[in-house]
Chains A and B, each alone.
Chain A
Amino acid sequence: MNKRFLIGMVVCVLIFFAGWRWGFGSPIRLGVVESTIQNESHSNTAVALSRIAKVDSELVSSVASVESNPSEVEGITNTYSFSSNHVVTRIVIPNPEFKIFGTPQFESLAKTQFDNITINSKYLVDTNLYELKEVFKDFPAAMNSQFLYSGIYQVAVTTCTLEEVRQLIFNTRYQAMRDLDEANATPDAAERESKIERIKALAGAQLELYKSIQKETLEDGRQNLIKLYGELPKPIFQRLLGIELRLPMGRLPYP
């Protein structure tokens, strides 16, 4: 009797711990400690911005060549005029996977990516991805469509891009501050004033550019979601953007 009892107890304890380890837990929800500045772009664009200082000389000539061969270049060209002799052209080329945005194939890729970084992840999980999904549950048009994960992916891309732009805005201010400190050390008063004016004008223009990019990013994200679901109530969009993602979702594995 004793032997059987002991065997039974051991089996029960083993079952209990096995259940505790694999049955109770969803993936371990670890806090995600923010890393240092991310240099890699995780937005849905493949073009990084160049400093405005280069635009007047180097980029203007390439802009001319782009305009003369529009059929060879895909994407959107935005031109920002700060003054008659200060123009910035930004060419936005969406990442290739966005060519199939709004299709079941994209949805499948987005769902797989979501699962890979959440329930199937062996590493840190950004629990705020589940928060995003929760918000979509209050949005019937998304829940009834076949493109829930496409929407989650789009929101993640928008949020990460906005965060990158905030970083760029900070970097611009920081660099301007350092440049001004250096300019203030110039002994010649006229030269000093000229340098300070130039630095402020350049930084001001760059900040305006980044603010325009913020607005465009928001609007593009909004339009893409409307394309998917036919509508997008403002409160839902605000709730989605209010969720901070600590880790980007990454590019979709599309050739």
Chain B
Amino acid sequence: MKRLILVLSLCVVLFVFIKNNRPDLSTPLPGGGASKKVNNVNSDQSIKEKLPVRRVETLGALAGNGPMLISEESDLGLVTKIYQLTPSKSITEVVAPNPKVPLLGSVEYEVLAKQDYFESIQVETNLSELKEIFEDFPIAKQSEYLYSGIREAYVFKSKIKQLRDSDFLLSADQWKGPFEIEAVSNLVDRKLKAQQIKDRLDEDMNRILLDKADAPERFKQRMVRLYGDFPKPIFQRLMSIDIVAEPRELISP
């Protein structure tokens, strides 16, 4: 009997220990889908240590069980994105930065961003809303890179709009599918065509959803690199501002 009580007590202790150390599933995940961050173990700097260099976004109930995006951005601005769309298909995108565009966090970038702000606000009036929000962020306001942050937010919101429109376009263009299928006379080829169209649609949709989940994380990462911190309320406020006009590239004269 004593042994039974002892065993039961040990089990309860183990139960409580594991519960307290389990990752908190009640915390909502940003951007939908499971999001996993991998720490960069090679950095010496304190900001980089808490900043993941590589981001992983997934769709589906379980991480790793569905489409996945692994994206990485180097300090020099080189972006590598690997879309794992199906178990047998992955797409790798490498975007090299324009050498004429200064790096985020440089004085040159700030100068160009400030200049662009005053020019673009004539067309995109909501830039003033973005500025108002950044001015409620003391670190940004007191730093030398206020307009760099506003510029990044402008680019980010424009990207969000682009992705949303791509989503709408994909749905709107679905009327074309049946016509493409009907154009194929052979019945067997028709089935193949239908399957191809469905696969293409699924892949395009998954890419959009993965990019939609990744874009906010990339933006937050760049903000933390710029300011050392980026509060959630500021990010939430920025998400409410709609941007219509597309930003021009900041090119050094």
Q: Which residues of A does B touch, CB under 8 Å?
A: 1, 4-5, 7-9, 11-13, 15-16, 19, 23-26, 28-34, 36-37, 127-128, 130-131, 135, 138, 166-167, 170-171, 174, 235, 237-244, 246
Contacts and interface: CB of A to CB of B under 8 A. Distances in A.
Nearest to B239: A242
B25 interface: yes
A238 B236 contact: yes
Given A34-B167, A36-B171, A135 B236 contact: yes
B172 A171 contact: yes
Contact of B169 (A4, A7, A30, A174): A174
B115 to A, nearest CB: 27
A59 B32 CA distance: 42
B146 interface: no
A31 B19 contact: no
Interface in B24-42: 25-26, 28-29, 32-34
B61 A239 contact: no
B209 interface: yes
A240 to B, nearest CB: 8
Interface of B: 1, 3-4, 7-8, 10-11, 14-15, 19, 22, 25-26, 28-29, 32-34, 58-61, 133, 136, 164-165, 167-169, 171-172, 174, 209, 233, 235-241
A4 B1 contact: yes
A207 to B, nearest CB: 11
B198 to A, nearest CB: 13
B237 A239 contact: yes
Nearest to B26: A26
A16 B14 CA distance: 9
A136 B241 CA distance: 19
Contact of B238 (A127, A138, A174, A242): A242
A214 B79 CA distance: 36
Contacts of A36: 171, 174
Given A5-B3, A11-B8, A127-B28, A170 B237 contact: no
The list of the 5 closest CB pairs from A to B, nearest first, reads A31-B33, A242-B239, A12-B11, A127-B28, A242-B240
B25 A25 contact: yes
B4 A130 contact: no
Interface centre among B15, B174, B236 (most CB of A within 10 A): B236
Interface centre among B11, B60, B167 (most CB of A within 10 A): B11
A25 B25 CA distance: 7
Given A11-B8, A242-B236, A242-B240, A29 B15 contact: no
Contacts of A23: 19
Given A4-B1, A33-B59, 19 more contacts: A5-B3, A11-B8, A12-B7, A16-B11, A16-B15, A23-B19, A28-B61, A30-B61, A31-B29, A31-B33, A31-B61, A37-B172, A127-B32, A135-B236, A138-B233, A170-B172, A242-B240, A243-B236, A243-B239
